[in-house]
Each structure stands twice: as C-alpha cells, then as structure tokens.
Structure 1
C-alpha cells in the first residue's frame, strides 16, 4: 500500500514538473521577435532628430508586424534627449547620433548599446545651388551666411571635426540644437548653407541640394541604440530594437541614405 501511495505521489510531482517546464517554454516562445506579433502596448522611443523620417517608417512597419503595439517617438538633439533620460524621463529605447551622448546614458547602467548605422555630413544649399558652393572654403566668402549645429550636438561635433581637418574657420550666423533646425534655415532662405547629415539633405531633396566634401569622410558619426534599464515596456523595447537591427529595418535605413556600421 505504501509503495502504491509513493508511486502516486511521484506521478503527481512529475506532472507538476512537466507543467512548470511547459510554462517556461511558453515564456521563451513569447520572447520578443522582430515582426513576431508577441508584444503589445506602447513603446516610447527617444531618437536623434536625423532619424525622424526613417524611424517613423520603421515604427509604422513595426506596428503592422506586431498588432496591439503603438510606437511613440520623441525626436530631438541627442544631447537634449540624453539629459532628459538622465533626469528620469520615461522612455523604452534610446537611439543616439553619436556614442558620446549615448555614454552619458549607459554610464547610468542603461545596458550595452549596439551601433546600427553611420552617417556623414554634406553642405546643404538652396535648390540648384544658387551660390555655387563646391566645398567648405566657399562658406568663408564675404557675406556668406552659414548655419551649424551647436557643439554639444552630434552634427555640431562632426562639423567642427570636418572644419578643423579642412583648416577652415567659420563664424555661423546661428547655432541650432539639432540638425533639423540647421536644415530649416536653408529651406527658409535665412542662410546660404548649413552642415547637415547626408540623410537629412536626401529627405529634403525637393527643397535643398547636398554638396559632398572630402573632409566629411573623417567625421562620420556612429549611431548606437539601446533598451533603457527603466523601460516601462521592456519586451516591446527589445522587440523594437530587434526590428531596427533586422533586414527589414536595415532596408529602410539604407534607403534613407544611412551607411552600414
């Protein structure tokens, strides 16, 4: 009789263990996958202003591949976004236009970032290049009005590096807090030129031309992305980053003019 009760108890324990293993397997199956449709809820992404067009497209594609999700973006200069995150702004993902701004966030324990694209500067000028700009030295002509990004912004740091390499000293008429601000000055005709990313000039090709210059090759910005430690929707954040790194995400970024890391 005792042996029978022991066998019955053992069978029950085995059944419970099997259920526990099944539960673990279910969690693994629900792990975030790019386009897997296994995540829900709102995913808040803080991203560099230069990612506006491409990430907006990726966000829509991600939502289509993951019904029940909603991706919301905060686009601005990377330095401003890093400051907001460090001050406790609620966000799930941070995508920076430079490692330096990402470092201020990861130093606080926000995971290990992954570089997903690179970007390069061009000289944005009015459509048809009315002032005949061919290189950085042309921006020093008497009366030339130039917009730059502020030094703490990645596009500003890259511009300084390129200008130093060319031995060119500029006195900009305005210093903008993100690349979109500098580009808008050209669009509005308030300046003759601005140093902006190639991707931004391409996105605004109807209004501006982008003039390539050799010194930009030595001032290429790497873009890192990470899931934030305080992410309210960690599963969603992981899935979004995975989607950005997937072939589908890479295709959108390449089409926008970004370079592979």
Structure 2
C-alpha cells in the first residue's frame, strides 16, 4: 500500500511541474490547487489543442489516439508546422494548450514571454540525416557531397530547428551549402526529395524512417555535433492546465517514450 501511495504522489508531482501548479499553502503568495488530479480526469466533451513540430506528426497522432482512449469525451486537436511558425502563432494568441518543439531555443521564446506554465520538460532528441531519392541519382555519400555543383539540395530555413542544426554543422565544418530552396518545415524538405524535385535534403533520422521506401537515408558523422532536443510545455492560456499536463506527462512517461523510440527518436 505504501508503494502505491508513493507512486501516485510521483505522478501528481510530475503533472504539477508541467502545469505550474502551486503549493496548497494558503499564504499570501500562494494559491491552492483546485484542478483535477490524474485520477480525477474531467469527463465530458472537451477539446485539447496541441501544437507540435512537423517532425512529430506520426508519433503525436498516435499519442493523441492513446490519450483519447483513456480520456472519454476528450478530443485532441493537433496542429503541425515548423517550430518557429508555431511560436509566432502562440505569441499572436492562437489557442494552444500544449506545445512541443524540435529545439529548446523556440520554447525559450515562449518561456521568456511568460506564455508557458511551470518548467518545460525535454522528452526526445533527433539528429540530421541526408535524404536522397530512391537510387541516389546525384551519388551523394557525405555532407561534403552536398556542395557538388550540379546537386539540387534543399534544407530548412535558419529559423527552423532543422535549419539551425544545418547552420551549426556548416559552421563547424567550414562547408557552406548553396541550396535551391529553404523550407519552413522539415516535412517540406522531405516532400521535395521524395518527389524528385531535389537530389538531396537535410532532414531528421525519424523523417527518413517514416518515409519508408520513398527515399534513402545517408548518415554522416558531422551530424553528431548538432543534435536537437525536444521540449514540451503547457501554455498559460490552457483552459484545462491539469488535463494539458496529463498529455505532456504521457509524452515523457514510459508509454510515450516507447512510441517515440519506435519512430527513431533518441532520449533527450
């Protein structure tokens, strides 16, 4: 019985950390916790709005389905885009309850603007990989090969996490890429490669894995110097912060981590 009580307290503590709930003190600087604990999940028609980086589409769609099964009456509304675009939307007042980005820099923008409750939690990491069309027509085998004069290369824009990681690798290696286009989301880069519009693109390991036979992936050692860590947080605008925190806790917990690992994400 003691072990069960301790385990329950640990879950509640994790939810409070993400939701930013205060201590139940009645002092002048505190506020009592009046929301529902995980064991008292609200029942009824509710919508939880989740904004997530484009590279999380597959895993978060699965996580949302699992969350809805365990929370009758709750619908998880998912919005996927480049992290920088999502930050702009939230800053401008878009109704997001939970946000998950592909880097800590974009989360910091919302934290600094006091738009995040409590402390965001890291839940995964991802590494860049070179994606090429099936058959690799431009014979790309390394990061250096992306500078071939006739190679049509596509990358993410600098403000997007995958673009920021690309820039970091360029700086570390002294190699400057001349892409034919810079995209606002990693999924757009993947789309141009899989359609044959580009000879190569820099995407995440998870994107290559999710693409199946449509493309081929080429690992390169320089990518290890620009690993992106993914944070999740609950916004100050969340109507049901405790419910939002439960979704975030699912992501950081064992079940969520299993789903993320199966998609190729690494630990943060």
Which category of TM-score, normalised to the shorter sequence, fits these structures?
0.7 to 0.9
Deviating 4+ runs (over 3 angstroms): 36-40
TM-score, length basis structure 1: 0.85
**SS of structure 2 residue aligned to 1:186:** helix
Query: Which residue, out of 63, 67, 81, partners 2:86?
Result: 81
2: CA distance between counterparts of 1:137 and 1:238?
A: 43
CA contact (8 A) 1:147 1:173 kept: yes
2: CA distance between counterparts of 1:132 and 1:165?
A: 24
How many residue pairs get aligned? The number is 232
Tell me, yes or no, if structure 1 residue 243 matches structure 2 residue 250: yes
2: CA distance between counterparts of 1:236 and 1:183?
A: 33
**SS of structure 2 residue aligned to 1:206:** helix
- How far off is 1:32 after superposition? 2.4
Structure 1 unaligned blocks of 5 or more: 1-26
Tell me, yes or no, if structure 1 residue 32 matches structure 2 residue 62: no
Query: Which residue, out of 205, 212, 217, partners 2:224?
Result: 217
Residue of structure 1 equivalent to 2:192: 185
TM-score, length basis structure 2: 0.83
2: CA distance between counterparts of 1:39 and 1:244?
A: 21
2: CA distance between counterparts of 1:152 and 1:123?
A: 19
1: CA distance between counterparts of 2:111 and 2:43?
A: 25
**SS of structure 1 residue aligned to 2:230:** strand
Residue of structure 1 equivalent to 2:71: 66
* CA deviation profile, 1:132-182 (whole Å, cap 9, x unmatched): 221111111121000010000000000111122222111100000010011
* Aligned residues: CA RMSD: 1.5
Residue of structure 2 equivalent to 1:16: none
Q: Which has the larger radius of gyration?
A: 1
